[in-house]
Structure 1
Amino acid sequence: MSDPETLAVYADQSARYAALTSDALRNDPLLAAFIDALPKGADVLDLGCGPGIAAAAMAQAGLKVHATDAVPEMIALAADHPGVHAEVKTFDQITGTDAYDGIWANFCLLHADRAALPTILAALHSALRPDGQFHIGMKLGHGTKRDTIGRQYTYVSEPELRGLLKDAGFTVTKTTTGCDKGLDGTYADWIALAAYG
């Protein structure tokens, strides 16, 4: 994510975003399923970790958590959680091969440019160990738009997202959809896919 306006919104509202997402993530069945699918002590990347709520839950479950986000204010919050190694990194700075047993990309890549998604997903697939667990959450829709507080979104359809994952080498195992209220106060349809590398 390199859109300055989006980064500025998250920097300015990091504490409010943490408060908004805290309970939802702590009780998220998708996060629980992701954790349960991994062995204790597994190496996990929380991509676009925000304030580190999911990363903290993973660490509490005995996983070794590396958390990244492009917003320093978010990383400061994430780094406060015990067992979470957090650092400022953009999506395109994720490199390496067979580094992680699981990658949690929960509603972060929706801020990536559409044209960059194939390259980012291919790099994530490379960073994931064989048969490693992958989770991605995106907002459903078409095109690229800003929300009412200025964040830029790349919307996807289910066939488009499935195609992107297949092209990157992932195999989808589960699809979940829903509709929730976001930081801007509006409701949006979303999709989450569980896959393995």
Structure 2
Amino acid sequence: MADRKTIEVYDTGATDYADRLTSDKPYPRLEAFIDAMPEGGRVLDLGCGPGNAAARMMARGLKADALDASEAMAALALERYGVSVRVGTFDDITGAEIYDGVWAHFSLLHAPRKAFPRHLAAIRTALKAGGRFMVAMKSGEGEGADSLGRFYSYYGEEELVGMLEAAGFEVFEREFGEDKGFAGKLDPWIILHAVASPLPVAPT
């Protein structure tokens, strides 16, 4: 179940949020993700917000599916970038072995900790073997609301890596840093780059 207050914050602040993401400069992390995709590959922008990343993926020749829980963000994505967003939650991740990559850029941090393994399993199922998964999270412990009322779950490095490995991913790169977010607070973050291991073969 999506946190209604979190969605309301993004609905109300959609334009301000989108304006902060507007830039003519390439985002190196996104460009590297796109570079790793096969030509014409299919990707999922999970928690796409105003659609800027999905638009860039499509501009570079990928087939991008965009999913976000905020109707206001979806409307902005269509208005600004011509990106059609499927309005839904992390529980609406569907499909089996259809994506070459999943981009989860500071989106899954809004999922409750108890639901996180379920979402990782759905992402792994949706990815092809060898597909790329990029997940960015705020680092820390526990879960709760920030000063704007948005719900967050926090993870340490080894816990997050262990959860990805348990879901069928092999982490090949780890990044760390801190930035000032939408709430104006300096927060530490962790970004993991992983590939999907082959799914287990069901016994015949």
Residue in structure 1 matched with residue 92 of structure 2 by the alignment: 93
Q: Offset of 1:23 from its aligned partner?
A: 2.8
Using the size of structure 2 for normalisation, the TM-score is 0.92
Question: 1:111 and 1:117 mapped to 2: Cα distance?
Answer: 10
* Structure 1: runs of 5 or more not aligned: none
**Partner residue in 2 for 1:20:** 20
Distance 1:134 1:141 in 2: 21
**Would the aligned equivalents of 2:42 and 2:101 in 1 still touch at CA under 8 Å?**
yes
Checking the alignment, whether the CA contact within 8 Å between 1:65 and 1:85 is kept in structure 2 is: no
Deviations 1:43-62 (A, max 9, x none): 01000000011111111111
Tell me by how many angstroms 1:4 deviates: 1.0
Q: 1:117 maps to which residue? A: 116
Matching residue's letter, 1:184: A
Other-structure match for 1:108? 107
Q: Which amino acid aligns with 2:49?
A: G
8 A contact 1:99–1:129 mirrored in 2: yes
Q: CA deviation at 1:107?
A: 0.4
The residue number in structure 1 matching 2:4 is 4
Judged with a 3 Å threshold, the aligned counterparts in structure 2 of structure 1 residues 130 and 85 are, in CA distance, closer, same or farther, namely: farther
Map 1:1-197; keep pairs closer than 5 Å. Answer: 2-23=2-23, 27-80=26-79, 81-82=81-82, 84-197=83-196
Query: Secondary structure of the equivalent of 1:137?
Result: strand
Counterpart residue identity of residue 117, structure 1? F
Distance 1:72 1:2 in 2: 13
Report the CA distance between 1:95 and its aligned residue: 1.5
TM-superposed deviation, 1:134: 0.7
Task: Give the secondary structure class of the aligned counterpart of 1:18.
Answer: helix
Kindly, what percent of the aligned residue pairs are identical? 48
User: How many angstroms apart in 1 are the aligned matches of 2:78 and 2:132?
Assistant: 23
2:94 aligned partner, one-letter code:
T
Letter of the 2:155 counterpart: V
Contact 2:74 2:84 in 1 (8 A): no
Give distance in 1, aligned partners of 2:169 and 2:31.
Answer: 21
Displacement, 1:114?
0.2
Structure 2 portions without partners, runs of 5+: 197-204
Distance 2:17 2:75 in 1: 13
Residue pair 1:47, 1:67 contacting (<8 A) in 2 also: yes
Aligned-pair Cα RMSD in Å: 1.3
The alpha-carbon deviation at position 111 of structure 1 amounts to: 0.2
Any runs of at least 4 consecutive aligned residues in structure 1 with deviations exceeding 3 A, and if so which? none
Q: TM-score, normalised by structure 1?
A: 0.95
Q: Does the 8 Å CA contact 1:67/1:78 hold for their aligned counterparts?
A: no
| Distance in 1 of aligned mates of 2:141 and 2:76 | 32
Question: What is the CA deviation profile of residues 9-54 of structure 1, one whole-angstrom value per residue up to 9, with x for unaligned ones?
Answer: 0000001111112239x53221111011012211010000000111
Decide which moves more: 128-137 or 84-93.
84-93
User: Match for 2:184: what amino acid?
Assistant: G
Structure 1 or 2, whichever has the larger Rg, is: 2
